[in-house]
Structure 1
Amino acid sequence: MATVMPDIYFLPEWGKFFETKEQDGKVHFFEINNELGHIFYQFIVRPTPVQIEEETYYDIITPYGFSGPIILSGDLENKPQLINLFEKEFGDYCDEHRIVTEYVRFSPWLKNRLDFESLYEFRDNGHVLYIDLREEDFFMQQFASVTRGQVRKALKKDVEIEFDFTGEHVEEFHRLYMLTVKKNQIEPYYLFSIESLRSSFEKFGGSQFLLFAKHQGQYISATFVLHHGEYAHYHLTANDPEYSSLSGNSLIVYELCRWAVEHDKKEVHLGGAPNENLYRFKRNFTKAEPLELLMGKKIHNQQAYDQLVEAKRQNGGIELPGYFPLYRG
């Protein structure tokens, strides 16, 4: 029987696709599957950027997105034993593979960190927002009055919606996306090339689509949507600032919610908000409380970690003293 993953970020093909986001990274999988239950964990293993005694060490980071170790099955009474077994066997795995540190982007909505919170230290990365679609009428019960007004304004101004399930117009999305990148000065790690967007449709075509807003035949706003199981994700957004007065982006979120309800999704995730304006924009789509975004950190080999940090200090220095792992700072 095939294992059912709860969200797209846990799919093995997701990890494989995004391993190239990490320099020299290779996706690995670790599982415990026995009478106690089933834990699945995918992560990317990277060589550390500095070496000690001509020995190569490695560290772990979860793939782009939100995942981490997750319990896929098992009885509640067996959970403590299952977690203890995971801690021991995964610790042995890390020792065997010379893995020094681990950084986990846990899923805020699945809250899988709660099962593993005794194993990690956590860093607060703020919050992410989502729209709860289990309300009878998300438009009236979740959207703020100002946002409802923006949606109505877009419709009145003859803004049209177009779904693209094949990636036929990925060039138009990328054009709008690069305008947004330039405006918001997005960091290189979070950028997506047009080649990457095209190839993602070959890999995840059944789990993603583009949603455009158009005005008089011109593409003015767009969103790259991911979906799997009960969740839809407002993955990437793109806008032409010259048309911001038409509120195309607000109409897109509304139409995404309508699509999600029709396809039995229970939540639309809007992601985080690095600035106040973006937070206010997203917050007006939902009355649901924001979800905590916590990152798990663990040092598996303290001696090697200290030596790697010292090697970095002597070879270029530590530029980001708050970074984890510090030898990458």
Structure 2
Amino acid sequence: MIKENVNYKTLDLHQRDEWLHFVMKCETYDVFYLPQYVQMYEERGEGKAQLFVYERRAEEFVIYPFLKREIRGAAEGEVYYDITTSYGYGGPLYSLSRLKNDDDFVREFRAEFERYCKAEGIVSEFIRFHPYLETEAGLASYVNVTSVGELIYNDVTKTEEEIWSEVAPSKKRRIKKSKRNQVEVIFIDGKDIGPKEILIFYDIYTETMDKKQASSFYYFSLDFFQAYFTALKEYITLAFAMHEGRVISANLLLKSEGAVTIHLSASFKAYLHLCPNCNLRYECILWAKRNGYHIVDHGGGKEKDDSLYKYKQQFSNTQTNFHIGKKIHNQSIYNKLAKQKSKLVQGEQADFFPEYRQVLVTPRILSNK
């Protein structure tokens, strides 16, 4: 129910049917907006899944999913929170695409959202905007919107010849070498993925994170993957590179409407000499084209223009900007929390936001045994 004198409502996972109803009524959407997607990150302990809804009329509304996180130690006797979009892409999604360019509607939405944040004790807001749905549009007056790099994507409405022409010569050679090495690529639809495939993906992904000495943020438990593949089976395809009956490289594809995102990638180090990764990524691009999609999203790098970004860039000559949003809703509490971390409070200009959640990341120490 919408609260008295309030023109918004918030839904949680107990109201997942209503949440899903709003998503499906949108002119376009992506898997990142589904309640079952955000639920995965609530169950991982990253916050309480919420959907903010502002509805001007039945066909004109905006939805905004996020994780609401309690802030401990903000003030005695008071409970404060901050909000962040879950891993992937997010931001406000409008029922009709034209509404993001309707200044009056966006202003009304943000006014109601500010009321919500004040009522709920929200200190700060962090958004990873959806680059292909352009969810940052119209928000520059309300949120500190910043471009933090580029994302690589393939326009797979092009011919296969055009797609191949965009692949860098060095990667073409590796793709051909992989095929000579008799590396084959198979695709498994989400509804056909069972415990065996999930365990294989978990093992190969975990080894890859160990190899990269990734921070704990990028590790996922087997329980997480089991729940993930079950909840999102309609929106997932697993791509495996195979050699002599063994999986040696894997991509997890997320699918919705016209887009495919190569969401997670992994490979066993012992088989890299067979060049499976390039072959697998290229075959995923072709698979998306042959199955009627329009875009294959490769993502970017961990840092601007790093080696991961440059690797992905060798499969396409098209990119788009990736934007994030930062907003401090309660400056005094934010300053108090941030000063516990640093004498210099940068607020929305800080590289890490919110500053009070920054922790020293220590890579895992791997055994030589």
Q: 1: distance between equivalents of 2:143 and 2:311?
A: 33
User: What amino acid is the match of 1:293?
Assistant: F
Equivalent residues of 1:52, 1:307 under 8 A apart: no
User: Structure 1 residues 104 and 243 mapped into 2: Cα distance closer, same or farther (>3 Å)?
Assistant: same
The answer to whether the 8 Å contact 1:21/1:64 transfers is no
| Counterpart code for 1:236 | L
CA distance in 2, matches of 1:302, 1:119: 15
- Equivalent residues of 1:108, 1:293 under 8 A apart: yes
SS of aligned partner of 2:25: coil
- 1:179-226 CA-to-partner distances (Å, cap 9, x unmatched) read 211111111112111221121121111110211111122221111111
* 1:228 alignment partner, one of 231, 235, 256: 256
Selected match of 2:172 from 134, 137, 148: 148
Q: Which runs of 4+ in 1 moved over 4 A?
A: 74-78, 310-314
Note closer, same or farther for the CA distance 1:77–1:145 as it changes in structure 2 (3 Å cut).
Answer: closer
Superposed, 1:288-327 pairs within 5 Å as 288=318, 290-310=319-339, 322-327=351-356
Counterpart position of 1:158? 182
Matches of 1:185 and 1:218, distance apart in 2: 25
Q: Does 1:34 align with 2:56?
A: yes
Provide the residue aligned with 2:200 in structure 1: 172
User: 1-side partners of 2:251 and 2:98: how far apart?
Assistant: 39
Note if contact 1:51-1:311 (Cα within 8 Å) is conserved in structure 2: no
CA distance 1:213–1:311, change in 2 (3 Å): closer
Alpha-carbon shift at residue 128 of structure 1 (Å): 1.9
Q: SS in structure 1 opposite 2:77?
A: coil
**1:95 equivalent in structure 2:** 118
Separation in 2, partners of 1:255, 1:239: 15
**Which position in structure 2 is the counterpart of 1:283?**
313
Distance 1:75 1:113, change over 3 A: closer
**Contact persistence 1:38–1:74 (CA under 8 A):** no
CA contact 1:226–1:232 (8 Å) conserved in 2: yes
SS in 2 for 1:282: helix
The aligned residue for residue 31 of structure 2 is 8
> 1:27-52: per-residue Cα shift (whole Å, max 9, x none)?
11111222483211011111113221
Q: 177-186 or 125-134: which moved more?
A: 125-134
Q: SS of the residue aligned with 2:232?
A: helix
2:278 maps to 1:250? yes
Q: Kindly tell me: are residues 75 and 132 of structure 1, through their superposed partners in 2, closer, same or farther at Cα, counting changes over 3 Å?
A: closer
The match for 2:237 is: 209
Residue type of the partner of 2:246? Q
Distance change >3 Å, CA 86–CA 285, structure 1 → 2: same
Q: Counterpart of 2:31 in structure 1: which amino acid?
A: I
Matched, 1:72 2:95: yes
**1:82 is matched with which residue: 82, 105, 115?**
105
SS in 2 for 1:298: strand
Check conservation: 2:40, 2:227, Cα contact below 8 A.
Answer: no
Deviates more, 1:239-248 or 1:34-43: 34-43
Rounded to whole Å, the distance in 2 between the matches of 1:75 and 1:105 is 21
The one-letter amino acid of 2:288's match is: A
Rounded to whole Å, the distance in 1 between the matches of 2:264 and 2:280 is: 12
TM-score of the two chains, using structure 1 as the length reference: 0.90
1:140 CA drift (Å) = 2.4
Find the aligned partners of 1:248 and 1:206 in 2 and give their Cα distance.
26
CA shift for structure 1 position 78: 7.4
Distance, in Å, in 1 between the alignment partners of 2:126 and 2:173 is 42
Q: Which has the higher contact order (CA 8 A, sep 6+)?
A: 1
The gaps in structure 1 that reach 5 residues or longer are 315-320
State how far apart, in whole Å, the 1-side matches of 2:200 and 2:106 are. 47
The answer on whether the counterparts of 2:101 and 2:137 sit within 8 Å (CA) in structure 1 is: no
Shift of 1:278: 2.2
Amino acid at match of 1:327: Y
Q: For the structure 1 residues 220 and 86, does the alpha-carbon distance in structure 2 shift closer, same or farther, using more than 3 Å as the test? A: same
Measure how far apart 1:84 and its partner are.
0.8
SS at match of 1:103: strand
Q: Which residue of 2 aligns with 1:183?
A: 211
**Separation (CA, whole Å) in 1 of partners of 2:101 and 2:153:** 32
The superposition leaves residues 218-253 of structure 1 with CA deviations (integer Å, 9 ceiling, x where unpaired) of 221111111111111111111112221222111111
Instruction: Answer yes or no: is the 8 Å Cα contact 1:126–1:292 preserved in 2.
Output: yes
Q: Which moved more, 1:107-116 or 1:138-147?
A: 138-147
SS at match of 1:18: helix
Aligned with 2:40 (options 7, 17, 28): 17
Of the structure 1 ranges 114-123 and 181-190, higher mean CA displacement relative to structure 2 is found in 114-123
Contact in 1 for aligned 2:49/2:68 (Cα 8 Å): yes
The corresponding residue for 1:318 is none
